[in-house]
Homo-oligomer: A and B are copies of this chain.
Amino acid sequence: MTKWLNRLIKPNTQMSEKEKINTEEKILQAAEEIFVKDGHSGARMQQIADKAGINKSLLHYYYRSKDKLFSTVFKFIFSKLASDIMNIFDSEEDIFGKLEKFIENYLRILMKNPIIPMFILNELNKKGNNLATIIIKGSNINLNKFEEIIQKEIDAGNIKNINPKSLIINILALCVFPIIGRPLTEEIVFNGDTKKYDEYLGQRKDEVFAIIKSTITIEK
């Protein structure tokens, strides 16, 4: 009973055996794949068990219910993405270089995980979802730091006096939309030409940076 209780209280407690971790890990990986692909209500416990190569009962042994398993997976995915993003602003360049790096890295991450943002937005938009606030507040995302940096640059007269909040939203919008809107935009803008769309995404970072740059540059 001890280990079991331990896992509930301190989920990250390391277990003495190294092999046994594998099951929990396998479940998590399988669940991640299925949940991301099908969403909470679309995913099936049996499907996850099959993908993990284990009995369905084991899912309930390690994670008591579908909801618990889901929220674990969601938290995991979100924090992984969030930390990836947050680690980006540590470069020592000027504000323009920082923004360029940020956009470049963010787009790279999104393109490497193209279904993750849709998954997150989709679940966040579900009615009666307290998960959003809970998880986001629990995450290490800290945009105050970002806003401070921008404000400092404005005060120093290096960039236009824009709203830092808008800047964030615009960057996110311009980066995220081509990924989550792909089925739509690829079809309606690129007439379904997948290769062309890939090319487009490849140079999207330059486009986004150019736009963002123009919104903050002081005209002479």
Known: A132-B183, A143-B189, A176-B177. A166 touches B207 (CB 8 A): yes
Bound-complex Cα distance A200 to B115 (A):
28
Given the complex, which residues of B lie within 8 Å of A180, measured CB to CB?
121, 125, 180
Q: Which of A136, A170, A173 has the most CB of B within 10 A?
A: A173
CB distance from A215 to the nearest CB of B (A): 6
Flag whether A58 is at the interface (Cβ < 8 A). Answer: no
Contact, CB under 8 Å: A121 / B181: yes
Contact, CB under 8 Å: A132 / B184: yes
Contact, CB under 8 Å: A120 / B184: yes
- Chain A, interface size category, equals 35 or more
Given the complex, which residues of B lie within 8 Å of A200, measured CB to CB?
165
Chain B interface: which of A12-20, A35-43, A65-73, A92-100? A35-43
Known: A41-B39, A42-B41, A215-B214. A176 touches B181 (CB 8 A): yes
A-B contact pairs, 15 of them (CB 8 A): A41-B41, A120-B184, A122-B122, A124-B184, A129-B183, A165-B200, A166-B207, A169-B177, A169-B178, A170-B207, A172-B181, A173-B173, A173-B176, A211-B211, A214-B214
